[in-house]
């Protein structure tokens, strides 16, 4: 804190530049992985429900155009998370399924935590969809401890 700033001044509560950088870096990293996690989780759900995940079904569920899905599927394929089969659908690799499972588990914990706080089920489900990608392992563990009380 700057000595010339009074404790009542809102600028007195600014965190260090290093802390700002770390916080913004973490948020940017989470945004980069958020779409990937959403796609693999949805693909896993579609496979569990119907045996495969088709590009048209993914686009419908995410509310995006098929070219958008095609671009992301190319990226997921390059990252080794999916396998595309001609005249079939998209299937997850072991890495893709592990990522989907981890994302799904984080979502369940965050949603249960919000519900225990008194948030309605619908709001908790929607809010957890965003929070799950940004929550740290430490915070997630605290949520689990809170839920087990």
Task: Indicate whether 1 pLDDT > 50.
Answer: no
**3-state SS class at 53:** strand
Task: Indicate whether 18 pLDDT > 50.
Answer: yes
Lowest-confidence segment of 6-20, 30-44, 74-88 by average pLDDT? 6-20
Across the range 85-112, mean pLDDT stands at: 94
Which residues lie closer than 8 Å to 64 by C-beta, 6 or more apart? none
Task: Indicate whether 133 pLDDT > 50.
Answer: yes
Higher model confidence: residue 87 or residue 96? 96
Domain 17-147 in this protein, CATH class: mainly alpha
Higher model confidence: residue 85 or residue 6? 85
pLDDT of residue 81: 97
pTM of the model: 0.77
The domain ranges of the chain are 17-147
Angle between helices 137-147 and 94-116 (to 10 degrees): 50
């Amino acid at each position: 804190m700057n000595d010339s700033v009074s404790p009542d001044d809102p600028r007195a509560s600014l965190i260090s530049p290093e802390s700002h950088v770390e916080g913004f870096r973490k948020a940017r990293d989470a945004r980069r992985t958020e779409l990937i996690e959403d796609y693999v989780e949805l693909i896993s759900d579609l496979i569990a429900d119907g045996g495969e995940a088709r590009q048209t079904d993914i686009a419908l569920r995410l509310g995006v155009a098929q070219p958008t899905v095609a671009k992301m599927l190319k990226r997921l394929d390059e990252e080794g998370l999916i396998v595309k089969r001609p005249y079939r659908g998209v299937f997850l690799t072991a890495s893709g399924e592990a990522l989907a499972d981890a994302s799904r588990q984080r979502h369940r914990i965050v949603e249960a935590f919000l519900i225990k706080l008194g948030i309605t089920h619908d709001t908790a489900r929607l809010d957890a969809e965003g929070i799950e990608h940004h929550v740290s392992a430490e915070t997630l563990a605290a949520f689990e401890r809170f839920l087990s009380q």
